[in-house]
Amino acid sequence: MSILEAIIMGLIQGLAEFLPISSSGHLAIFKQVLHIEVETGLLFDVLLHLGTLIAIFVAFWKDVRMLIYEGFCIVGDFFKNIWYAVSNLFADKEHKREYVKMAATPYRRFVMLVIVSTIPTGIIGILFQDMIETAAAGILIPGIMLLVTGVLLLVADHVDSGTLTEETASYPKALLLGVAQGAATLPGLSRSGTTITAGLLSGFERSFAVRYSFIMSIPAVLGAAILELKDFEPSMVASSELLAYAVGTAVAAAVGYISIKTMLVLVRGKKFKYFSFYCFLVGAIAIGAYII
């Protein structure tokens, strides 16, 4: 892979990861169109996703920082409650300790919601990893899933904003969004479009649906990166390609940050229909190219 090809793929990832047009679908299609050969399987795709993950950290740093802090506090309170449970076994009724409520603040509830969402996403990603890699190697499945994405975006534009935020959203709804995110590992099915639509249908407030969609992707992307990188050795990639991978990741991060800011404006204005038409067009072209 040349540096120019890596830059192009980084641009595609940065734009398509946060705009609701499916980064995985576009990466799969453009690899076919540009005849880009990647010897390391999904490694390059994972690195591009890590680039957009950096963009999330920068754009939502206040939220991310607080979620990390409160996450450690939850772990501390969990072990504290275990200690209380053990000590209460040997204490009389007057000296029994009250358990600490672990999700006592909005940010702690946010952490718990993201954890609940991550469970089904991880299960789906692990169980269907081989099928996802196979689907990404062609253009038929990405084309079909882009059509599905187009339908979801039309639905999102016609759903009124709900009122649920991190303080009022329920764990079953978080579980549903995790399933939606897991399904969106199929190339062509937009992760942001699918999860934002699922959030709106679940009654999430519009800006919170976008914020939740982006932040809930953090553990999913990190998990996918760990799975892909656990057997990686530098000798698997030529030194010339390592530079290309690094450049592509940096481009994805920079463009991804701009896309996040753009997406926050678009969701308030209910302008998903334009992306819907685009997905219909690209999906139809991909399917037509496969048939021809």
Tokens (6 digits) for 176? 């549903």
- The pLDDT of residue 238: 66
- Mean pLDDT per 10-residue interval, the chain, length 292 residues: 83 84 77 66 74 90 91 91 88 83 88 93 86 80 91 90 91 95 89 92 91 89 73 64 85 91 78 88 89 84
CA–CA separation, 113 vs 65, rounded Å? 16
What confidence score (pLDDT) does residue 255 get?
A: 92
Residue 204, SS3? Answer: strand
Task: Give the model's pLDDT for residue 203.
Answer: 94
Residues 6+ apart with CB under 8 A from 291: none
> What pLDDT does 38 receive?
58
Mention every residue, 6+ apart, whose C-beta is less than 8 A from residue 177. Answer: 117, 195, 198, 199, 202, 212, 213, 216
* Cα–Cα distance, 102 to 81 (Å, whole number): 9
pLDDT at position 237 is 65
pLDDT for 197: 93
